[in-house]
Amino acid sequence: MPALSAILALSLTAPLQEAGAGQEAPALLADHQWASWRGPLSTGFAPHADPPTVWSEEQGVRWKLPLPGLGHSSPVVWGTKIFLTSAVPFGDALEPIPELAPGAHDNAQVTHAQRYVALAVDRVSGALLWTRKLREELPHEGYHISGSLASASPVTDGERVFVSFGSRGVYALDMQGELAWSRDLGVMSVKHAHGEGSSPALHDQTLVVNWDHEGASRLLALDAGTGETRWEVERDEPTSWATPIVVEHDGTAQLIVSGTNRLRAYDLEGGGLLWECGGLSHNVVASPVSAQGMVFAGSSYEKQALLAIRLEGAAGDLTTSEELLWMRRRRTPYVPSPLLYGDALYFLLHYQGVLSRVSTTTGAEPKGPFRLRGIGDVYASPVGAAGRLYVTDRSGTTTVLSHEASPRLLALNMLDDSFSASAALVDQELFLRGERHLYCIAAQE
């Protein structure tokens, strides 16, 4: 194993050295990392990864690290470091937090103060490198029984790691875990007290935080270097859990955010509204994806909707315009976000094991839907690489499918944990964050 670790470490660091000056974060290699929860393209697709197809607790697990507390945030990877967050209960048991929101149901009882932490893990050995305590307090609201108090994923540029705990603050750390800055943005009142979950989005030197809740909703752009507010706009939106994405089009960086009333695009430079489109449902969780001049956004709560927007010519209200290329009203996603892989858009029915594969240009579904054998409730978003799709359910099962018109089952893999966080794919490895462990899945040596 020492020899193997040395070889692996060399293979990971060699490209960084080739990029010059031994930098930790060369922009040239950003598409080889998994720097945010939907990967290098914000689509769930890893263009340079080739992870394993088959694994189990007895086969293909390079290392398995016990994790403190509970968190559903997905791991992000840069170079030889993995970053994630957790909420760790401590102290004496207290009276359970009441269900503060009308209609709240199926909520977990929070009976302890929480320690909100960021963690860094060595990608080669699986050793815990550091744990940084960012806040300690008893939360003002609980969360849904299927959720956690650390559901927003970090994002990194290879120089800093940005972490949002929503009502418990936004933080920037260096790669060694030292605090660069922090912001307290206030307190969110989430629908049904079901918990917070929108992850921050990063583009160049701008960090974006979506603050949709049952109070005064807003969208904030922060300076990534200082944490100061660059701009802030009000949003006519109730609670959502969707993470924004940034899309470059015609020389303009568009910040795209899904919401109940409108799917909207803002000018990242100043926050001006570029275009908007109605049609999504309440309780928007799935994040949009974009490629080849198109944006796709879906939801599924009291109604089902999936919208395909053409960015060329998009301006103003697109709800009845020709820029709304197509719309679907069946089998649309709720919790897991879509996977955009080439000219195919993959998504699950609500959060169930029924997969649709449609054309990005027309929305047509020549074959399918496909019922995924052995897959139950799915909260993790599907990911793809090397001609394969990976769908992980909450029971610990991952189905691996071929990326083709009629996806074929390649493997059905089971681990002894429960998974709601999305997988990260880097090089020949797949990282899965369970409720109890972080797994590194790698090919057999």
44 by DSSP, 3-state: which? Answer: coil
Q: Which DSSP letter does residue 268 get?
A: T
Picking from 279, 375, 388, the residue whose alpha carbon sits closest to that of residue 332 is 279
Range name among 26-35, 195-204, 408-417, 422-431 with the lowest pLDDT average: 26-35
Rounded to two decimals, what is the model's pTM? 0.93
Query: Is the residue at 15 inside a domain?
Result: no
Query: Is the residue at 43 inside a domain?
Result: yes
**Can you say whether residue 331 is alpha, beta or left, with left for phi > 0 and alpha for psi between -120 and 50 degrees?**
left
Query: Is the residue at 378 inside a domain?
Result: yes
User: Average of pLDDT values for 3-20?
Assistant: 35
Place of tokens 């050295």: 17
The C-alpha atoms of residue 106 and residue 217 are separated, in whole angstroms, by: 24
Q: Which DSSP letter does residue 8 get?
A: H
The DSSP string of 360-376 is: TTT---SS--EE-TT--
Confidence of residue 444 (pLDDT cuts 50, 70, 90): confident
The CATH number that applies at residue 396 is: 2.130.10.10
Q: What is the pLDDT of residues 240-294, one digit of tens each?
A: 999 999 999 999 999 999 999 999 999 999 999 999 999 999 999 999 999 999 9
Q: Which domain holds residue 143?
A: 28-442
Query: Is the residue at 273 inside a domain?
Result: yes
pLDDT over 70 (residue 24): no
290 by DSSP, 3-state: which? Answer: strand
18 by DSSP, 3-state: which? Answer: helix
Query: Is the residue at 237 inside a domain?
Result: yes
Query: Is the residue at 383 inside a domain?
Result: yes
C-alpha distance across the termini of the chain, in Å: 10
Can you give the pLDDT at residue 208? 98
The DSSP string of 55-74 is: -BSSSSEEEEEE-SSB--PP
Query: Is the residue at 12 inside a domain?
Result: no
Strand partners, 345: 340, 358
| Structural domains of the chain, count | 1
Query: Is the residue at 19 inside a domain?
Result: no
pLDDT over 80 (residue 23): no
pLDDT over 80 (residue 105): no
Can you give the pLDDT at residue 9? 36
The total of other beta-carbon atoms located within 10 Å of residue 362's CB is: 12
